[in-house]
Amino acid sequence: MTTSEPLGEWLRNFSERAVVPPMSEEFVARVDSRITSQIPEISSDPMLIDDLHGSTRAQWRAFVLTLSIDHTLMLPPAAADLARSLARRGMDLGVLLKVYRAAHQAVFEFFTDVSDTIGESGPRADEVLRFLWTRAERWMNDSVEALIETFYEERSHMNEGALIRRTRLIEDILQGAAIRVDHASAELSHALAHWQTAGVVWTTATDSADAARRLQNVAGQLARRIRAPRPLTLLTSGSELCFWAATPARPDLGSLFELAGILEESQAHLAFGVPSPGPAGFRSGHSEAKAAQRVGLDATPSPPVVDYSHIELLCLVSESPQLVRRMVEREIGDLGAPDKNLAQVRHTVLTHFDNGFNVEKTARHLFIHRNTVRYRLSRAEELIGHSLTERTAKIDIALRYVALFGPPAD
């Protein structure tokens, strides 16, 4: 499409502004908000939302940088990653097509707003809108065509060998389908009747070329620490891996927090559920690990290791964040203030709760003198206005909230 000189100059200036914040982030927020509002399969999955943001951000940048030349589809890797993630989760092609239908609506509205802001010295608004929309429509149509191929290539890859059978069997177990435990164990090479420790590990690294290997390594490290054989794994996206480790007896998960250093080096995070035996434990541990992951993703900063058993109450109430914040303010008051010394007091109180209100055990765990423990506990009671033995459950959840998300007033 040929352009007039005023339009060409405007496009060059627009590209410079559009490729960086705040316009680039506004575009991603508007488009992805429309997509997630229409596609619950994506809005209910934090890792798919991350893949969506990455795809939209990368496609917007590629699109904007080609506005001053003839139309050329330069589909970024992040767009293909989203298509592969949908395929790996066993979703229909229709979900991918819905993404672009929803984006179609949001992009047109965005460009309409952009054209409305053009001043008298610029090109005509209708000329700008017609050009931008024609280019965007061609870009999205060509993208869909290329990504349908990517989607089916991933499906074809999954169909090779036993991968698709394993994936379907795992999905059947998670959905509570009736299975023969011995047959499923043989098919998965996983002792399904044993105690199941389920987890999910994900990466925040922007370069995901080596992500699968690093995520597999973390799952293997966890299995070795609880003396389990090689874990059963399921790569659910380019940046997320679900896994299960089987042990003949209930494992001690206390050492898993020692993986924090390895996780930070790998730019990865780990969440795990409560070990339980059999297929029921396989399911419950997975749902708990995913719940812990959702809380961990919202935390500031996101912790390297999240144990569901430590934040179970937070997971149960995480759907009502405003009510939780009010409860935190009500229950611990000034103890929740953003102060480094108070952070030590809060940590001491939580450790005291975890050690059965035993001052000696708390002191040994924190490597401090028992009188220091007593002083901090006394300080906490002074700030909340009553004994720590009153409303302990609410104090506990309030302190764990602050430990993960920071003071509510922040």
Res 300: pLDDT? 80
Point out the least confidently predicted range of 88-102, 199-213, 256-270.
199-213
Minimum mean pLDDT range among 201-210, 354-363, 379-388, 401-410: 201-210
| CA gap 406, 325 in Å, rounded | 10
The DSSP call for residue 391 is S
Per-residue pLDDT at 161: 59
Using 50, 70 and 90 to split pLDDT, how confident is the model at 3?
A: low
pLDDT band per the 50, 70, 90 thresholds, residue 364: very high
Per-residue pLDDT at 180: 93
Query: What's residue 209's pLDDT?
Result: 62
- Euclidean distance between CA atoms 235 and 202, whole angstroms: 10
The whole-angstrom separation of Cα 259 and Cα 244 is 17
123 Cβ neighbours under 8 A, 6+ residues apart: 4, 6, 7, 10
* pLDDT band per the 50, 70, 90 thresholds, residue 89: confident
d(CA 232, CA 166): 10
Residues in contact with 200: Cβ distance below 8 Å, sequence separation at least 6, in sequence order = 240, 241, 242, 243, 270, 271, 272, 286, 289, 290, 293
Cα–Cα distances in angstroms (integers) from residue 5 to residues 2, 68, 327, in the given order: 10, 11, 60
Write the DSSP string, 304-325: SEEEGGGSHHHHHHTT-HHHHH
pLDDT at 202 exceeding the cut of 80: yes
The rounded distance, in Å, linking the Cα atoms of 154 and 387 is 58
User: Of all helices (H) and strands (E), which one includes residue 351?
Assistant: helix 340-354
8 Å CB contact between 277 and 246: no
Segment 102-129 mean pLDDT:
92
Instruction: State the chain's mean pLDDT as an integer.
Output: 91
Q: φ, ψ for residue 195 (rounded to 5)? A: -65, 135
CA 158, CA 90: separation in Å to the nearest integer?
Answer: 10
Tokens of 287: 């749902």
- Cα–Cα separations (whole angstroms), residue 357 to 31, 178, 332: 50, 44, 18
Q: Which residues contact 101 (CB under 8 A, 6 or more apart)?
A: none
What whole-number percentage of the chain has pLDDT above 90? 70
Q: Looking at residue 282, what is its pLDDT?
A: 97
Q: CA-to-CA distance for 3 and 131, rounded, in angstroms?
A: 8
Are 175 and 138 within 8 A, CB to CB? no
Rounded CA-CA distance 163/313 in Å is 36
pLDDT at 337: 92
- Residue 72 pLDDT: 82
Mind listing the pLDDT tens digit for each residue in 148-179? 999 999 888 877 656 778 889 999 999 999 99
Bridge partners of 245, per DSSP, are 197
Are 212 and 190 within 8 A, CB to CB?
no
**Percentage of residues of the chain with pLDDT beyond 70:** 97
List of domains in the chain: 5-159 (1.10.490), 191-311 (3.30.70.270), 320-405 (1.10.10.2840)
Task: pLDDT band for 382, please (50, 70, 90 cuts).
Answer: very high
**In Å, what is the CA distance from 237 to each residue of 143, 200, 382?**
20, 12, 48
- 319 or 146, greater pLDDT: 146
pLDDT for 215:
92
Enter the pTM of the model.
0.67
Least confident interval from 155-164, 277-286, 293-302: 155-164
The pLDDT, as a whole number, for residue 405 is 87
Asked if pLDDT for residue 410 goes beyond 60, the answer is: no
Q: Which of 65-74, 235-244, 365-374 has the lowest mean pLDDT?
A: 65-74
Dihedral through CA 330, CA 331, CA 334, CA 339, nearest 10?
-120
pLDDT at 207: 63
Distance CA 278, CA 192 (A): 6
Report d(CA 220, CA 4) in Å as an integer. Answer: 60
Query: Each residue of 219-258: pLDDT tens digit?
Result: 999 999 999 989 999 999 888 999 999 999 999 998 999 9
Label residue 2 by pLDDT band (50, 70, 90).
Answer: low
Q: Is the pLDDT of residue 206 over 70?
A: no
Name the one residue in this structure whose structure tokens are 């405007």: 10
> Quick one: which of 378, 392, 317 has its CA closest to 350?
392
The mean pLDDT of 262-289, rounded to a whole number, is: 94
The pLDDT of residue 45: 86
Quick one: pLDDT at residue 177?
A: 92
Arithmetic mean of pLDDT, 314-333: 82
pLDDT at 1 over 60: no
* CA separation for the pair 243, 230 (Å, rounded): 10
Query: What per-residue confidence (pLDDT) applies to 186?
Result: 85
First to last CA, the chain: 50
Distance CA 11, CA 100 (A): 24
125 pLDDT higher than 80: yes
Chain centroid to Cα 159, Å, comes to 27
The answer, yes or no, to whether residue 290 has pLDDT greater than 90, is yes
Q: What mean pLDDT comes out for the span 274-299?
A: 94
